[in-house]
Amino acid sequence: MGPHDELAFTAHWAAHDLGEVVVSAADLRERIAELGQAISRDYDGHPPLLVCVLKGAINFMSDLMRAIELPVEVEFMAVSSYGAATKTSGVVRIVKDLDVDIADRDVLIVEDVVDSGLTLNYLRQYLGARSPASLEVCALLLKEGEQRVEQDLKYVGFSIGPAFVVGYGLDVSERYRNLDGIYTYVGEA
């Protein structure tokens, strides 16, 4: 199977904007199962509140919570630092806040991709001010060499290069979220 054979079955409508497969659907399933096992082991006896960072982490969150063998609870936040661009602006805006009190709770932020780290750093400070018992991060993707802020990530799915990627929740102007795998984006921004 070549790099675009997977596209022939799932995303012929997007093939002209997609480059190579960065993470296949099969690799996503396998790694998320491993992350679920690690989280289940680490949080045994005190299930975390999973905080999904919308919209990019929605696919990851859905699969991850099913891989965790604990009675987890879920919450959602929406933050914006990109707009319609493919590079972060560095200005973070809370679009949707949590609906629950996280004081004295074990909180696990579920993030799609960490690149500059500025958004995640802001989010950690923002949530940390609410006195959770613990605050950790599970990131699907870590873009190597892109961090402007030192990151301490407890769980990372995959380390990838600096290319802009789409699929499996990641988008450009709300498109490509429904792809099963993660691909480089070669279309126009």
Q: Which DSSP symbol is given to 59?
A: H
Sequence ranges of the domains in the chain? 26-162
Task: Give catalytic residues, as residue numbers.
Answer: 115
Compute the average pLDDT of residues 23-46: 98
What integer pLDDT is reported at residue 8 of this predicted model?
A: 44
**Each residue's pLDDT tens digit, 119-151:** 899 999 999 999 999 999 999 999 987 666 667
Angle (nearest 5°) at CA 63 between 41 and 116:
85
The CATH architecture one would assign to domain 26-162 is: 3-Layer(aba) Sandwich (3.40)
Contact at 8 Å (CB) between 177 and 50? no
**Each residue's pLDDT tens digit, 56-99:** 999 999 999 999 999 999 999 998 775 555 455 567 889 999 99
Angle (nearest 5°) at CA 129 between 125 and 130:
130
